[in-house]
Amino acid sequence: MFTRFTPEARRTTVRAGLLALDHGRATLDEDMFLLALAESWPVADFAVTPEAVGTEIGNREAATGRAGDRELLASIGVDLDEVRRRLPTRREDPLAWRLTRSRLRPLNVTLSGPAGDLLLTARARKVVEVALHTSGTGSKVTGEGLLKGLLADGSNASVAILRGLGVDIRGLAAGIGFLRESA
């Protein structure tokens, strides 16, 4: 699947996976795509910063009773920074990662690389599929395509986070050419 991604979109997807792993998750959710996009492709007109998105994600995790991985590991004496220092140096190399669809279960899409394997949740898979679809045949998926994938489902966590940050979702969608014209 990564053959249809620009280097920027591939880096963003890998970063989303690494963020999910750093948050102690076994799956890749769409909120990590939003955080990775905020880091790599800031939407300046809408004042979405990685810090603001990270804070919103942390607040949502706290509200659901999910502790961050750093806190959980520290409680048993594991230093997360030391673990990261010992990981392979290619951990963040986008070329060392693969995005594949299962042949036996076509709805299962997995991001695999040196830091581990992450199954994409249904909403994260939708982000990728919408990005692939909106890029068109023969075109590459871009960061903007991933953002379109996030905006495609108005009920996902990323849209709720953006709304919580005061972003005009309709204005954002119009700004990237993702609104259909009225009849």
Question: What is the C-alpha to C-alpha distance for residues 120 and 160, in angstroms, rounded to an integer?
Answer: 19
Instruction: For residue 140, count CB atoms less than 10 angstroms from its CB and return exposed for 0-12, middle for 13-18, buried for 19 or more.
Output: middle
pLDDT tens, residue by residue, 20-60: 988 888 899 999 999 999 988 755 455 688 888 888 888 88
Contact (Cβ atoms closer than 8 angstroms) between residue 147 and residue 180: no
Task: Give me the percent of the chain exceeding a pLDDT of 70.
Answer: 84
Structural domains present in the chain: 2-175 (1.10.1780.10)
